[in-house]
Structure 1
Amino acid sequence: MQIYVVKQGDTVDTIAGEYGVSVEDIIYDNQIPYPYRLAVGMALLLRITGEEGAGLYDAYVNGYAYPFISNYVLNQTLPYLSSLSIFSYGFTTEGNLIPPAIDESFMIQAALLEDVAPILTLTPFGADGMFNNYLISVLVNNQPVRDTLIAQLLFTMEQKGYQGVDIDFEYILPEDRDAFTAFVAETRAAANAEGYTLSVALAPKISDTQTGLLYEGKDYEGLGRAADSVLLMTYEWGYTYGPPMAVAPLNKVIEVVEYAITKIPPEKIDLGIPNYGYDWTLPYIRGESKADTIGNIEAVQIAIENNAEILFDSTAMSPWFRYTRDGVEHEVWFEDVRSLREKFRLVKSYGLRGMGYWQIMQLFRANWLLLADTFSIQKRPAG
């Protein structure tokens, strides 16, 4: 695969002619809709005849998805995954498991058919749909509640065909840090005894002493020992209510990885990768501004429709652009094959286990093609 950045005057036909690739492949691989317009600065993935990707680094690839994912997107994506984390199961203060509102059985079966491990994602959501640290406190400090939840997790995984559990708890109170680590270790022991794996999601810390509710309740070293694997949630620097910036700026991601590998064996670590971007209106006003979440393909179409040139930030290693619509200026940050290539290089250079995508609800075909050209994707044993 080769990455080509569109210049003024380029068309799909001229690029195809220059590189000896088919117009159809460019259109399909990069999801370019009719009438096949391009934006100056957009990055295209090209299949160069006779060239083969390295395919040497063995990588684990996880993707999170909700049960309302379309069958088309799911089936297009599964060949590139090692595991599928289905979002999500909750629980009550008594430890009773709460299934997703939509039956997820079709996702489990589709995953198994593609030799992808279906993973049950456990979250402490309250009635408002937000992370609830009261629920976490009740669970991790109450043995009977833990026993009930672990028993129901094991039963559900066996009944449904899951092959592991992912614990995604956020905003853990600092005083519950060690109890949460103990809960993860206890759940892993029970899961491993039945042949299941356990992973845990970690907020993106850069030091032991980092303050803030996202960070103080997560003991990297302890959780690295307690879990089979961890996901570094290396995204959301640019977020809905924050100022315009890259969602996963490479310089910030590197800080997290370099701290993490001092606490956790690299072969246990998956790098978090965002499959989305944000569109902010300007000027940004803290407490008032709210960005719209957009897909990476959608971001390029916004640039095309508004005749905007896509730029590439050399520090964040992320694409971005500005445009004006109805008299309002906007700033957009998203991911493309250039920014993803840099993240893939991190996985290899730091010897990480692989990566985890939040989330796979929108198809970004060029990402998956580039990934398959860069890595040998681990698969669960057939059958």
Structure 2
Amino acid sequence: MSVYVVKEGDNVDRIAETAGIPVGELLWANQIEYPYRLAVGQSLLIPEGPAADREQSRRELYSFGYAYPFISRETAEQTLPFLTDLYIFSYGFTEQGTLIPPSSDDTWLIRQAADAGVDPVMVLTPLGADGRFNNNLVTALMEDRRLQERLIWELGRTMTEKGYRGLDIDFEYVRAEDGPAFAEFTGRVRRVLQVFGYPVSVALAPKTSPDQKGLLYEGIDYRLLGEAADRVMLMTYEWGYTYGPPMAVAPLNMVRRVVEYAVSAIPVEKISLGIPNYGYEWPLPYVRGTTKAQSISNREAVARAIDHGVPIRFDETAWSPYLRYWQYGIQHGIWFEDVRSIQGKFDLIREYGLLGAGYWQLMNFFRPNWLLMEEKFRIIRNN
């Protein structure tokens, strides 16, 4: 497959004719809907042949993503064929070691994943009642061995009853003094759950050095956690985030720095690269402490460019698309992901021989990503 960047005067018929593919195939692969409008600078995936010729294939890439249980059934059904695991977000816990289930019932999603041949993975987080990560809860768990034992027992029981096939530990804002105990806890969970055949993964804040300062990083020891878990995922996104200044969500230059450090501390066969399946839109000018960005899907970002008649630009350093437009006297800035930026991340996975790709989050279906992944990491076609 190749990527084509739309130029002034292009239309879908001309692009398809030049590429030598049916126009319907171009529309389907890129989720272009009637009246088939394009934005200058929009990146399009050019399929290698008719969709019917691309059979489901076994890939060398471990591919997974996080989804809330309130994901639409249609989106789940469209996405599952491209996954090996589905990480269902999330279970919390109390200071008494009792699990707090997701706000929406996860039973149907566990069953749908299993029916599709995809392993449903429970995600454990220390989320408080306000929906934010609570590092006081982490500290309480790290300081009480009996509390850990109760929680681990609850995890095993619930995973077995619900049909989960793995556990992902996503603890953020771990205090520096809790870091060693957190790694020990992760190893303890792994030793218990491996008896039942459940692998344990851990999500890692995007560090570029072992002594990186900041609450997000100091309690996350790459070497210790890499030893403790079966797999890790680098949360290589959220440089551009809700309360931060406008910038790429996952700038490739920074993502590369995280990978370079990670492979120095963790075996590459354990590492998956986190990829955002969304962008952010900021009102401008940005005012620290006041401006709040809104999450936006990759397709919505392109629609904004089309609706407001502005081009999509591409930052060669961050290797990310962005755009700006005016509405009702307010300027807006958007950074998002397209097939060009995602291809850069896939190239990084191949360059370093990483285990796989993990997506935050799967609530919107972006077909070009999955078709590109299928092509780039396919090793055997099914007969």
Q: Is the structural similarity TM-score above 0.5?
A: yes
1:211 matched to which residue of 2? 213
Give the equivalent residue in structure 1 for 2:342: 340
Task: Output the CA distance in 2 between the equivalents of 1:348 and 1:313.
Answer: 22
Aligned to 1:254: 256
Correspondences of 1:364-375 after superposition (within 5 Å): 364-375=366-377
Stretches of structure 1 lacking an aligned partner (at least 5 in a row): 379-383
Q: What's the counterpart of residue 167 of structure 1?
A: 169
CA contact (8 A) 1:63 1:360 kept: yes
CA shift for structure 1 position 48: 2.9
Aligned to 2:85: 83
1:238 and 1:115 map into 2 onto residues whose CA distance is 34
Residue 49 of structure 2 corresponds to residue 49 of structure 1: yes
Residues 15-55 of structure 1, C-alpha deviation per residue, up to 9 Å, x if partnerless?
Answer: 111112112112121111211100000011111339989x8
Q: Take 1:320 and 1:128, find their aligned partners in 2: how far apart are those partners?
A: 32
Residue identity in the other structure for 1:352: L
> How far is the alpha carbon of 1:126 from its aligned partner?
0.8
| CA shift for structure 1 position 329 | 1.1
Residues in 2 aligned to 1:2 and 1:106: alpha-carbon distance in whole angstroms: 37
Contact 1:81 1:377 in 2 (8 A): no
Matched, 1:96 2:98: yes
CA RMSD of aligned residues (A): 1.6
Whether the 8 Å CA contact 2:243–2:293 is kept in 1: the answer is yes
Partner Cα separation in structure 2 for residue 121 and residue 352 of structure 1: 22
Code of the residue aligned with 2:220 in structure 1: it is K
For residue 237 of structure 1, report the CA deviation from its aligned partner: 0.4
Distance apart, 1:276 and its partner CA: 0.3
2:67 is the counterpart of 1:62: no
The answer as to whether partners of 2:66 and 2:87 remain within 8 angstroms in 1 is yes
Structure 2 residue 28 is the aligned partner of structure 1 residue 4: no
Task: Map Cα deviations across residues 66-99 of structure 1 (whole Å, 9 max, x no partner).
Answer: 0000010001000100100000001000111111
TM-score (norm. length: structure 1): 0.96
Runs of 4+ in 1 over 4 A off after TM superposition: 50-53
Q: Tell whether the 8 Å contact from 2:58 to 2:379 is kept in structure 1 after alignment.
A: no
Q: Distance in 2 between matches of 1:208 and 1:101?
A: 36
Matches of 2:279 and 2:332, distance apart in 1 = 13
CA distance in 2, matches of 1:57, 1:116: 13
The aligned residue for residue 115 of structure 1 is: 117
Is the aligned partner of 1:145 residue 2:164?
A: no
Label 1:66 to 1:262 Cα distance change in 2 as closer, same or farther (>3 A). same
For 1:372 and 1:355, locate their aligned partners in 2 and report how far apart those are by CA, in whole Å.
12
Match of 2:128 in 1: 126
Give yes or no for contact 1:80–1:377 (8 Å, CA) kept in 2. Answer: no
* Partner AA of 2:281 in structure 1: D
Rounded Cα–Cα distance in structure 2 between residues aligned with 1:256 and 1:52: 34
Work out whether 1:19 is the aligned partner of 2:1: no
Alignment-derived partner of residue 361 in structure 1 = 363
Q: CA deviation at 1:180?
A: 0.6
Quote the offset at 1:56 in angstroms: 9.5
Aligned: 1:195 with 2:197: yes
SS of match in other structure, 1:360: coil
> Alignment length, in residue pairs?
377
Contact 1:82 1:377 in 2 (8 A): no
User: Is 2:284 the partner of 1:278?
Assistant: no
Q: Which residue of 1 aligns with 2:351?
A: 349
Residues 159-190 of structure 1: CA deviation (Å, up to 9, x unaligned) = 11111000000011111111111100000000
Deviation track 1:110-146 (CA, whole Å, cap 9, x = no partner) reads 1111211100000001111100011111112101110
Residue 184 of structure 2 corresponds to 182
Percent of aligned pairs sharing the same letter: 55
Whether the aligned pair in 2 keeps the contact of 1:323 and 1:329 (CA below 8 Å) is: yes
Distance 2:379 2:215 in 1: 35
**C-alpha distance 266-124 of structure 1, shift in aligned 2 (>3 A):** same
For the residue of structure 2 that corresponds to 1:128, the secondary structure is coil
User: Partners of 2:209 and 2:160 in 1: how far apart?
Assistant: 38
Gaps of 5+ in 2: none
TM-score (norm 2): 0.96
